[in-house]
Structure formats: structure tokens, C-alpha cells
């Protein structure tokens, strides 16, 4: 709490000062402060490189899925939405950094502008959408296994409502709550009680995804042990599930672990996982779902061979025309 007293000489200075209340005062020596500053600068460079690499890979993957007609299906459509959520997340991080930390002379603790609140709101929406599209990936995988690789396109709009609609409703409730009850600062204080409006849906998505992970693993083990299942179907099950089964436990495990501890516990480890390692998640997703996908590789090779034959044919036609002339 910060207070001022009304005296006969006017208002007194805030007590304690804003920068002390926000714990921005250097608590150690100058060497410790400089070391921490260099540490955060290094971390920012690392996650900037990570998000840049991820966004470049994801944009290329979206282009591949969109350009090749043979790759147009419900599964790859869900992958495109999942990639887009990662692109939005990287964009939101860059916007947030440019708004909050572009000017070092600004006191970030007392900063409370519409621009910074909008940047934080967009960031929270992109993070929520990222987790919920991972949930959609898990739900779709489970649906395919239950329906024996038959897909109903009517589910697509339901997946879109889950992936984009639930985060929009959640963030809308959070914004209204902050405006009504806690409209202070830039809304980036994670110690606020209203932060649970964002945290609870994320934890719910991670928990449901973990249950899907266990259920899919159980179904996969049963189908592979089935003696009537052909070798081709076994390979299809393994190829389809390996990427999602890898991503479900990989994404959000650290979030659950750190969510059980106060914000001041394990700050360095939390920042490293959420910022540095988290920035390369998009690159890993593009690698697993697109670049290492056998179907995508075969389609690229087929179109590359087709393009080469077309070029050779054009060269041959030009040479023939020159010879005839």
C-alpha cells in the first residue's frame, strides 16, 4: 500500500516511493545489478532469436500446407490453426516488448496506458489460444482413433470454437474484471487474484490434454497388440500419433509445476523455461508436423520432379524451335 498525507503545506510525498514499492531498487551491489542486467539482456536476445526462427519456420509450414492441394484436409487445417496460434504468440511477445521496454526512461511500475493494456491483453489471448489449439490437436487425435480414421468435417467448426472462441471469451471476462475491480498498472502483475481468470483455463486445458495423452496411449497399445490389424494400419497409427504424443507432455508440464509455487519462487528457472525454451516451441511444432512429415516430403518431391520435367520440356521445346528456325 502506498499512502500520502494531507498536511497544511499540501500533499506529502508518496510513502513508500513507487519504485521502492515495486521492488525496482537494486538490493545488491552495483556488480550484482550489472550482472543481472547482462543476464536479462542475454535472455532477451535468446528468446528474440527463438521466436524469429519459430515464426519463419511456421510461416513456411503454413505456406506448404496452403499451396499443395493434396495436403488440404481437416488434419492439416487444424495444424494450420495451431501454427497460427504460435505466430500470434511470437508477434504478441514482440509487440509487448516494444510497448513496455522501448523507452528505458519510463517507470514501468506506474505505467498505465491503453496501449500497454491492449498489448498485454493480446499477449494473454495468444497464449490461451496456443494452449487450446494444442488441446484441439489432442481431441482430434483421440477422435481419429475412436472413429478408426474416419473424419467428420462437421467437427471442424467445433474445433475452431474451442481453439479461438474459448480464449476470446476468457480474455473478455478477464478484461471486464480488471476494468471493474483492478484497473491499475499495465495488467501485467501476475500476483493479482484476478490472474486466475487466465491461469485456471490454461491449467484446465493442460489437465484435459494429459488425460487425452493417457487415453490415446492406452488405445494405441490395444490397437497395436490386435492380431487382426494389418502392418499398414499399424504404421498409420504410429505415424499419426508420434508427433502429438510427444507434444502433449512437452507443452505445459513446466507451467503446471511452476503454477503450484508462488511467483517469487524459481524466478530464473521460470523465465528460462517460459521465455528461452518456450520461444523455440513453434520451430519444434513446424519440424514435427510439417518438415518431418512423410506425406509433406513426398508431395514436395513429387511437385519438385514435376517442375523439373516441365523446365526440361520447355528447354527442349526452345531448342527444337531454334533448330527448326
The number of domains in the chain is: 1
In a domain, 10, yes or no: no
165 within 8 A of 196, measured Cβ to Cβ: no
**What are the DSSP calls for 184-199, one per residue?**
-TTS--TTSGGGHHHH
Task: Please determine, for residue 139, whether its predicted confidence score (pLDDT) is greater than 90.
Answer: no
| φ, ψ dihedrals at 4, nearest 5° | -130, 150
Q: How far apart are CA 4 and CA 13, in angstroms?
A: 6
Q: Which of 133, 159, 132, 166 is nearest to 74 (CA)?
A: 159
Sequence-distant contacts of 270-277: CB under 8 A, at least 24 apart? 271/43, 272/43, 275/43, 275/46, 275/47, 276/43, 276/46, 276/47, 276/50
Note whether residue 314 is domain-resident.
no
Residue 230, SS3? coil
Residues 176-186, mean pLDDT to the nearest whole number = 87
Residue 75: what pLDDT? 83
Tens of pLDDT, residue by residue over 40-77, are: 888 888 899 999 999 999 999 999 988 887 788 888 88
3: in domain: no
Cα first-last separation, the chain: 91
Closest listed residue to residue 126, CA positions, set 96, 101, 157 = 96
Q: Is the pLDDT of residue 14 over 90?
A: no
Q: Which of 6-10, 206-210, 242-246 has the lowest mean pLDDT?
A: 242-246
- Rounded distance, CA 201 to CA 182, Å? 20
Phi/psi region, residue 252 (left: phi>0; alpha: psi -120 to 50; beta: rest), is: left
- CATH number, domain containing residue 271: 1.20.1070.10
State residue 3's pLDDT score: 86
**What b-and-e string marks burial along 261-278, b requiring 16 or more CB atoms within 10 Å of the CB?**
eeeeeeeeebebbebbeb
Q: How far apart are CA 54 and CA 286, in angstroms?
A: 8
Residue 69 burial by Cβ neighbours in a 10 Å radius (0-12, 13-18, 19+): exposed
User: Residues in the chain, how many?
Assistant: 325
User: Does a structural domain hold residue 321?
Assistant: no
Question: With the C-alpha atoms ordered 49, 50, 55, 57, is the resulting torsion angle positive or negative?
Answer: positive
Residue 175 pLDDT > 90, yes or no? yes
Of residues 318 and 88, more confidently modeled:
88
Instruction: Print the domain residue range for 270.
Output: 33-100+108-298
What is the band of 245 on the pLDDT scale with cuts at 50, 70, 90?
low
Reported confidence tier of residue 255, pLDDT bands at 50, 70, 90: low
Q: Is residue 177 part of a domain?
A: yes
DSSP state of 108: T
- Cα angle for residues 184, 278, 157 (degrees, 5° grid): 80
* Residue 221: partners with Cβ closer than 8 Å, 6 or more residues away: none
Residue 310 inside a domain? The answer is no
**pLDDT for the residue 86:** 94
Give the CA distances from residue 322 to residues 49, 191, 311, in Å, rounded to whole numbers and listed in that order: 51, 77, 17
Q: Which residue has the higher pLDDT, 23 or 116?
A: 116
Note the pLDDT tens digit of each residue in 96-125: 988 887 766 666 666 778 888 999 999 999
Q: CA-CA distance, 31 to 37, in Å (whole number)?
A: 10
Residue 52 counted as domain residue: yes
The answer on pLDDT for 254 being more than 80 is no
Given a cut of 90, whether residue 230 has pLDDT beyond it is no
Q: What is the pLDDT of residue 84?
A: 95
182 within domain boundaries = yes
Higher pLDDT, 103 or 279: 279
Question: Which residue in 180, 136, 183, 198 sits closest to 161, CA to CA?
Answer: 136
Mean pLDDT over each residue of the chain, to the nearest integer: 79
Whether the upstream peptide bond of residue 16 has omega within 30° of 0, thus cis, is yes
Across residues 5-16, what is the average pLDDT? 85
Amino acid at each position: 500500500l502506498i499512502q500520502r498525507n494531507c498536511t497544511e503545506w499540501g500533499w506529502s510525498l508518496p510513502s513508500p516511493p513507487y519504485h521502492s514499492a515495486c521492488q525496482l531498487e537494486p538490493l545488491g551491489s552495483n556488480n550484482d545489478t550489472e550482472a543481472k542486467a547482462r543476464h536479462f539482456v542475454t535472455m532477451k536476445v535468446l528468446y528474440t532469436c527463438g521466436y524469429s526462427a519459430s515464426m519463419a519456420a511456421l510461416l513456411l509450414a503454413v505456406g506448404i500446407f496452403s499451396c499443395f492441394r493434396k495436403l488440404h484436409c481437416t488434419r492439416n487445417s487444424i495444424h494450420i490453426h495451431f501454427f497460427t496460434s504460435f505466430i500470434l504468440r511470437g508477434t504478441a511477445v514482440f509487440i509487448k516488448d516494444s510497448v513496455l521496454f522501448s523507452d528505458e526512461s519510463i517507470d514501468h511500475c506506474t505505467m498505465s496506458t491503453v496501449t500497454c493494456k491492449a498489448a498485454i491483453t493480446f499477449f494473454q489471448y495468444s497464449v490461451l489460444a496456443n494452449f487450446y489449439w494444442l488441446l484441439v490437436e489432442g481431441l482430434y487425435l483421440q477422435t481419429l482413433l475412436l472413429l478408426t480414421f474416419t473424419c467428420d468435417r462437421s467437427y471442424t467448426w467445433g474445433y475452431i470454437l474451442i481453439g479461438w472462441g474459448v480464449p476470446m471469451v476468457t480474455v473478455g471476462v478477464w478484461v471486464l474484471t480488471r476494468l471493474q475491480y483492478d484497473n491499475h498498472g499495465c495488467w501485467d502483475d501476475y500476483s493479482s487474484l484476478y490472474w486466475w481468470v487466465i491461469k485456471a483455463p490454461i491449467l484446465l486445458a493442460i489437465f484435459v490434454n494429459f488425460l487425452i495423452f493417457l487415453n490415446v496411449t492406452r488405445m494405441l497399445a490395444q490397437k497395436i497388440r490386435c492380431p487382426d490389424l494389418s502392418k499398414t494400419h499399424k504404421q498409420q497409427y504410429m505415424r499419426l500419433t508420434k508427433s502429438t504424443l510427444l507434444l502433449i507432455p512437452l507443452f505445459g508440464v513446466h507451467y503446471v509445476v511452476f503454477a503450484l509455487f508462488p511467483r517469487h519462487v524459481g524466478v530464473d528457472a521460470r523465465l528460462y523455461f517460459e521465455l528461452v525454451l518456450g520461444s523455440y516451441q513453434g520451430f519444434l511444432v513446424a519440424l514435427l508436423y510439417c518438415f518431418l512429415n512423410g506425406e509433406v516430403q513426398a508431395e514436395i518431391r513429387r511437385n519438385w520432379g514435376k517442375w523439373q520435367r516441365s523446365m526440361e520440356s520447355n528447354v527442349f521445346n526452345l531448342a527444337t524451335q531454334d533448330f527448326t528456325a
